[in-house]
Amino acid sequence: MAKVAPVASVERRGNGTLIAVGAMLLLFGIAPLVGFYPVFLMKALCFALFACAFNLLIGFGGLLSFGHAMFLGTAGYVCAHAAKEWGWPPEAAIVLGTGASTMLGVVAGALAVRLAGGGPTARRFLDRRALLNAMAGIAATGGSTNGILHLLAIAREAGVPLTLDELAGVGAATPVVASLAPSGRFTAEDLHRVGGTAVLIRELVRGGHVEGSAPTVEGTTLAEATSGAAAPDGEVLFSVDEPFKPTGALHALRGNLAPDGSLLKLAAGRRFQQGPARVFDSEEACADAVRAGVARPGDVLVVRYEGPAGGPGMREMLSVTSSVVGAGLGESVALVTDGRFSGATRGLMVGHVAPEAARGGPLAVVRDGDTITIDVDAKRLTLELGEDELARRLAAWQPPQPSDAGGVFARYRALVGSASEGAVLRA
């Protein structure tokens, strides 16, 4: 069983990240106002970069960004929902380069440094309630399957019991109330224009999808902090009573091909496909085959050895999914992989399959021509193979020789856990 860092360790790492982010916010928030760019700037920059690098190296990570995408892919939901559901909701997503963003940088930097110097730590906010709130926010805005992966990782590090099925259940049950790209018409700038994340939280609290009693860093609750927010405008943001879409797009599938689970984001279109497998042992091999015209309508493309250990690193299958859509097969070809996808992926694309192929999961023994069934409504991912034959293949399977037998990648490969548990490093 994977071990998680003790609470004190999580708090120390969280404080280091706050110091790093605070220093950067102060640096790029205050310095431009006063025209102060001497030695102080370079020292602050070096300190901030060192602190973030240190946090990343010890495994907890720090997010340093000059902004995120205007659509709700991975970066967009991480920046917005981490801020709004874990303690500072009113302006979690704001347009970069405006006077408001500069002043927010000043305020955020000062708050981060104050908290790091003795205020409440991240552990106070990172409880089960906060993580489920964050999942509801991700689902309500049409966010990515990566949201579940990251929340599972945070839960493991913080010692919070939370499963893939619980998060996916929230993701499927929460109505989508924001019409944001790629599945909607508008961007994050439009969301800010109509009141921002405060309006979103207030509506989710009103509908019972977010627990409003969760605390914020300012000492109020989420419900109190957003009580003065405007009502949804009905174009960018909708009410929970008349949502943009009645249910979320995030689903968890299990079956003999994914005993520990898999994930897909399905905004619309097919919810069932059964077809022959075309098997590839890397993203590049699959993308090349699709571009060469090998894939046919009805096929189920299998891309394996791209999971946390197999990749290593669990890459996003961007070249494969774009090649499938570019070939005009987005509505007729399905994809199953132990890798992951971008939040902008379209079609019947199942990722995060666990156990992954590199760890001897059933995906490792799929052969060309085997029949695979994807049934979203039944929440099943099935290799149509008898139990005895599947067991025989698994018993005969041998792991492929990795290209990196030593060094950092080899150590990562040996220590990383399953995607179904957040792909965290195991002690």
Tell me: the pLDDT tens digits for 37-70?
Answer: 344 444 444 444 434 433 333 333 333 333 444 4
Judge whether residue 364 has pLDDT over 80. yes
Is residue 295 exposed (0-12), middle (13-18) or buried (19+ Cβ within 10 Å)? Answer: buried
Which of the listed ranges 115-119, 206-210, 404-408 does the model predict with the highest average pLDDT? 206-210
Considering only residues 129 and 104, tell me which one the structure prediction assigns the higher pLDDT: 129
Categorize the per-residue pLDDT at 151 as very low, low, confident or very high, splitting at 50, 70 and 90: very high
pTM, rounded to two decimals: 0.78
Q: Are 356 and 309 in contact (CB under 8 A)?
A: yes
Q: Are 354 and 361 in contact (CB under 8 A)?
A: yes
360-375 mean pLDDT? 98
Q: Where are the domains of the chain?
A: 250-421
d(CA 363, CA 383): 9
Average pLDDT, the chain: 79
d(CA 227, CA 216): 13
Residue 99 pLDDT: 64
pLDDT, tens only, 266-322: 866 789 999 999 999 999 999 999 999 999 999 999 999 999 999 999 988 888 988
Residue 132 pLDDT: 93
d(CA 263, CA 353): 7
Q: Architecture of domain 250-421 in CATH? A: 3-Layer(bba) Sandwich (3.50)
Residue 95 pLDDT: 60
Considering only residues 215 and 56, tell me which one the structure prediction assigns the higher pLDDT: 215
Judge whether residue 111 has pLDDT over 90. no
Per DSSP, the three-state class of 100 is helix
- CA angle, residues 412, 418, 424, in degrees to nearest 5: 55
pLDDT, tens only, 377-411: 999 999 999 999 999 999 999 999 887 778 888 99
The values of phi and psi at residue 216, to 5°, are -115, 165
Judge whether residue 154 has pLDDT over 60. yes
Which of the listed ranges 157-161, 284-288, 341-345 does the model predict with the highest average pLDDT? 284-288
Catalytic residues: 342
Residue 204 pLDDT: 95
> What separation in angstroms does the CA of 378 have from each of 144, 177, 216, 236?
21, 25, 38, 32
Instruction: Mean pLDDT check: name the lowest of 3-12, 72-81, 136-145, 264-273.
Output: 3-12
Q: Say what angle helices 128-140 and 164-173 make with each other, to 10 degrees.
A: 40
Residue 30 pLDDT: 41
